[in-house]
Chain A
Amino acid sequence: MKFLVFISFILIIIFFGIPFLWLYLSAFDKEASAFIKMPNFTLSNFIEAFREYNFTRYLINSSLVATITMILTILIVAVSSYSISRIKWRYKNAFLYSLLLFHSIPLSTTMVPIYGIMKILHLRNSYLGLILVYTAMQLPFLIWLMKGFFDTIPEELEEAAWIDGCTYLKALFKVVLPVSLPGILVVSALSFLGAWGESMLILILVDSEKMKTVPLVFYEAMRTVGGYMEVRYELVSAFAILFQIPVVILFILSRKLLATSIVPGVER
C-alpha cells in the first residue's frame, strides 16, 4: 500500500510538473522549442524579453494599477467589513449571502455588459477604470473573509479606545486593525495578486498601446502560438516567468495564512 501511494505520487508529480519543467527549462534555453529538453543555458532571454516586449513600460502600468488597487481595497475592506461585523441590521444576513452570490458568479458571465457599461462611463483605457474594476471585483470575497476576522475581536477593545477620546475611525485604525493584521495581510496579498494577474477583463477594457499591462502584452505575445507566426518560445517563456514571479513570491510568503482562509465554504 505504501508503495502504491508512492507510485501515485510520482505519477501526479509528472502530470503537474512537466508543463512547469518545460516552462522553466525553455526560459533559460538559447533555442527553446515546444518540447522539453535540456537547455543550452543562457540568461539573455530575460534581457531580450525586456527589450522585445518593451517590458519596463508595461511593468510600470501593472505595478501602478496593482498597488493602488491594493491600497484602495485594504481601506474599503477594512472599513466596510468592520461596519458589517458591528452593525445591527435586519437584512445583514441577506447582505452577506448576496456577497457570496456575487463572489460565486464568474465575471465572464457579465463580461459583455461590463464592456458596455465601461464604454458608456468612458472608463475604458484608463487607470481609474482598471483600478475601480479590480477593486470591486474582489470585494465580495475579501469583505466576507475580513468580517470573519473582525467578528472574533471583542467590542470592549474599541470601547476602551472611545473612552480614551478616539474617534470611531481612529479606534478602528489604531486599535482594531493592528490586532487583525493577519487578515489585512491576506487581503493585501490577494488584492495585489488579483489585479496583477487579471487577464480576462483587460482584453475588453484596454486597447490603447499606452494603457496595456503585463498580462495583456503576454497574451499578445503568446497568441502567435496558434500558428500565425513562428513562436519564440524562449522569449515568451522568459516573459511568463517575469509575469509569474510576483505571484509565486507573494504566495510563498503568505502561504500559511492563505491556506487557512482562501477557501470559502470551509471556514471553521
Chain B
Amino acid sequence: MINKLRITILITLLFLIPIENVNAHVVSEKEWLNDPHDHGDAKIIYLKAYQFGYAVKAIQEDGEKRIFPDGKEPSIMEVEKGGKVVFRIISADVTHGFYIDGYTPDAVKDNKILIKPGEIIEVGPIFFDDPGKFKLRCSETCGPLHPFMVADLIVKPNTYFPVLLIITVVVSAMTLLYVSRAPKNKMLGIPLDRDIDLLKVRFIGPILKKFLQWRGVHFALIVPNLLIFMVVLTSGFFGNPTGNMNFSIVIIWILWLAAVEILILLGARTWCTLCPIPAFGEWLARRRFYGVHKIRKWTSIGKKWPNKLNNMWIPALFFLTMSLFVPWLVTRPVVTGIVFGFLFILALIIYLVFDPKRNFCRNICPANGYIGYHSNASILAVRSRNINTCNQHTPKECIRGSPKGYGCPWKLYPGGHKENTYCGQCYECLKSCPLDNMTLKLRMVGQDLARIGAKAKNRFDEAYTGFIRFTVAIFYELVFFGPYFWIKDWGNMGIIYGANLATIGLLSPTLEALNYWFKWALMVAGIALIGYPGLFYIFSWISKKLSGVNDIPTKQLFLSFSYALAPYGIFLWIAFAFSLLLVNWSYPISAISDPLGYGWNLFGTKFEWQPFSPEALPYIQTPLLLLGLAIAINATYNIAEQIFNNHRQAFRATFVMGVLHTMAGLVFAWVIAG
C-alpha cells in the first residue's frame, strides 16, 4: 500500500500574513475551490480544517463538483476501494496537521503535513486499496481539543461493519443457546466456584504474601504516585495551557484513565491501593506513615459518618457531573488541577472531621463508585480462605485491628465479605489477621455477580452507577473519536483556548455557549439517567411478563439485572482505553521530559506525536465488545437463575435482556466500525 502511495504537497502561498493573525481567512473560497491542476481520474475532496474538526466543503468527481452549503458540510468521506483521492486542504483558523490512519507512510510521518492559514495544501493522489473505516486526524497541536480533531474516511465496501454486526448477533445468539442448556454457576463454560489462592501459588505466592503483609507496602506504593500527583497539580495550575502539552492532562486523562480501566478487570481496586488522594488524611489521622500506632488515638474529631451518605450516590453523581464538563476537564490543565486539588483537600477534611476511616473513598470519590462497581467483574478479589474460620474467630482483628494491622479502613468485615464493591484492597486484613485466613484470589469474571444481583433490593445507587458508566463509555467513544464535532463543541462551549491558572479567564463562556452546554448536559444526563435506564426498565418489565412470574416486582428485576452491566461496561471502557492509548501514547512519554510543556527535554523522551497502529483499533475493540456482551448475557442468566430458581423462567428473562444487550452492542459496533 505504501509503495503505491504517492504524496505530493503543493503549497500555494497566496498572501503573506503574520501567523498570529490566525482568524484571517486569507484564501478566498473561490480560489480554493477553483483547482487549476489536472488530477486525472482522481476524486478531489476540498477539506477545511478548523478548530477542532474537518469539514468537506466540496467533492469533485468525474468532472462534477458538488459543493456543500455552509453549516451542512459533512465530516464523513466515502471513497470506493481502489479509488484515487486528492485532498485539497485549507485551514480556517490556526495551523493544523493531516494524518490518515493506515494510509500515512513513514516518510510523511517524519515530516508531517502542516496546513497553515493562508496556504492551500494538496495531498495525493492517495490510492485507497484497503477497505474499512479510517480516521483523519490532526497531527499538529492546534488547541485544547486537538487530540480529538478527527473525521471519518470510509473506503467502500466497508464489509467489516456488516460482518461485525452479524458477528455481534451471532455471539449473542450463541451465548443464549449456551445458557438455554442450563449451565449451573458457570461463566461461558468456566465454573464460578473455583478460584486460585494466589498467596499459595508456588514461588510467587510466598513473595507476594510477604510483600502484601509488609507494613510499608502501602506507603511505598503511594509515595511515587503522590509525587506524580504533585507534578500533576503543579503543571495543571502553572504549566502550558494546551492540554496535550501538559503533564496533568496527558498523564491523568490518557495514561491513568486507560490504566485504571484495564486494572479494574485484572486487579479490581488495585488503583485504590496506590491512590495518594486520601494519604495526607490517613497519615495525619493515624500519626504514622506506615506503622500501626501503638496507642489507638486518632487525629480526628471523629464525628459519625451520616448513614444517608453510606452509599454510592455521591460518587455516581460526581462522576456524571464530571462527564458534563468532560471536554473542559480532559483538555484544560487548570480544570484538572482544580478537580484534583479539590479532591485532595476534601479527603483531608473528611478524615479530620469524621471517623478516621475511608469515608471519602467509600462515599465521595467519583472514581471509587465506578471502580468499586466494576470490580465485582474483576478476576481478582481479597477473600477469606475459610469463612467458617472467620466466623468462629471471635476477636475479629480484621474489623477491630491488631498490633500488626488496622481494622478495615473501608468499614467492612473482610473475613465475611463476598463482593468487591467497597473493598479498597489496602491489605490491612492480610496483616491484622492472626489466623492467616485472608488471601488474594484469582477467579473467573462474574463470580459474585449472581449473588449480588439477586440480593440487590434497593441498591439504586449501584444500578445507576452501572447505567451512567455504560452509556458514557459508548458516548465518549462516539464523541471523542467520532466525526460529529458539533457534539464536542456543545460540551466545549465553543471555546478554542486552553487554560492554566494565568489564563483561566479565557474559559468564560458566552450566553450562547452556555445554551449549547445545556443541550450537551441534557443529552448526557438524559441518556445516562433517563434514556437507557428507562429502556432497561421496559425490558425488565417485558422479561418479567415473558418469564410468567408476576410476584417479583419489575423494580427488583431492573436492579438485579443491572449488575450484568458491570462486566459489559468495563469491557467497553477498556475498548475506549485502547482508543486513547493507541492514538495518544506518545504524549505521556513526551510529557515526562517536559511536564510543564515549556519545551524542555529533560530525559530525552520528547518526540513528535506518533500513533501506534490506530487502524488496528476496530480489531482490538471487537473481541472486547463480544466478550463483554457474552459475559453480560451469561451474568444475566446467572442472576435470573438465583431470582427465579427455575431454568425456564430464567432463560426467558435472559432472552429479553439479551436482546437489549445485543442492541447496545450493535450501537457500539456502529461507533467503532460503521
Check if A and B associate.
no
A residues neighboring B (CB under 8 Å): none
B residues neighboring A (CB under 8 Å): none
